[in-house]
Amino acid sequence: MTDTVHTATVSTPVGDLRLAVATSSGKERLIALTFADHFERVVAPVRERVPGDWDEGETATTDAVRRYVAGDLAALDGVVVDAGPVSPFRQRVWDALREIPAGTTWSYRQLAERVGTAGAVRAVGSANGANPVWVVVPCHRVVRSDGSLGGYGGGVERKAWLLAHEGARPAGGAGHTCGEPGVAARSLGWFRTTREGHSCT
């Protein structure tokens, strides 16, 4: 049966999110989610994989993303993700990302250890960056070992906002202190990704 794909926009304080949800026999699968200025780039191969009828439309998945942005951090837990056929390694990385609770960060090394490839930090970072379902497969929850943000496809300012929105606190790299836990995490100034490394406000 041919899928129907509904696309939609969800507003956030750091720019619109765009998502694509495939539906078949009444069941929904989230096949792409990015910030709007990256959507066409990320979704191009998804359109080839899911060539059904694409149109603008609301879905229960869209509502879940809106509830997450409004503060219901558990709203995404039940979202079904279909990121397409990928290598077993990449799938393990993406599955592990969904194990990171909202309000928590892992380092790239911790993620590599979780998928059983402790020496493959770069490969884990590459798999993280190839994720087409941002936020729900929460690649933004992976930071450097020293607690600094590292990269993010949508920009580090958005990564900082997502983590602050979730009430995250620094990963606690060696020698890192930030005063009272959880307080600085409410501010976008919590992270600094400068050449000098990580600092807190």
The per-residue pLDDT for range 66-110, each reduced to its tens digit, is 999 999 999 999 999 999 899 999 999 999 999 999 999 999 999
Query: What pLDDT shows up at residue 125?
Result: 94
**Does residue 200 register a pLDDT over 80?**
no
Amino acid at 3: D
Query: What pLDDT shows up at residue 52?
Result: 84
Query: What pLDDT shows up at residue 170?
Result: 56
**Does residue 45 register a pLDDT over 70?**
yes
**Does residue 1 register a pLDDT over 70?**
no
Q: Considering the chain, what percentage of its residues have pLDDT values greater than 70?
A: 83
What is the residue-averaged pLDDT of the chain?
A: 86
Mean pLDDT computed over 121-127: 94
Whether the Cβ atoms of residue 75 and residue 165 lie closer than 8 Å to each other: no
Amino acid at 196: E
Least confident of 122-126, 153-157, 185-189: 185-189
Query: What pLDDT shows up at residue 129?
Result: 92
**Does residue 40 register a pLDDT over 90?**
yes
**How far is residue 99's CA from residue 82's CA, in Å, rounded to a whole number?**
16
User: pLDDT band for position 198 (50/70/90)?
Assistant: very low
Query: What pLDDT shows up at residue 64?
Result: 98
80 Cβ contact partners less than 8 Å away, ≥ 6 residues apart: 27, 28, 29, 30, 61
Which of 5, 100, 139, 162 does the annotation list as catalytic?
Answer: 139
pLDDT digits (tens, 9 = 90+) for 4-18: 999 999 999 999 999
Domains and CATH numbers, the chain: 4-76 (3.30.160), 88-190 (1.10.10.10)
**How far is residue 160's CA from residue 168's CA, in Å, rounded to a whole number?**
10
User: pLDDT band for position 2 (50/70/90)?
Assistant: confident
Q: Determine whether 139 is an active site residue.
A: yes
DSSP code, position 3: P
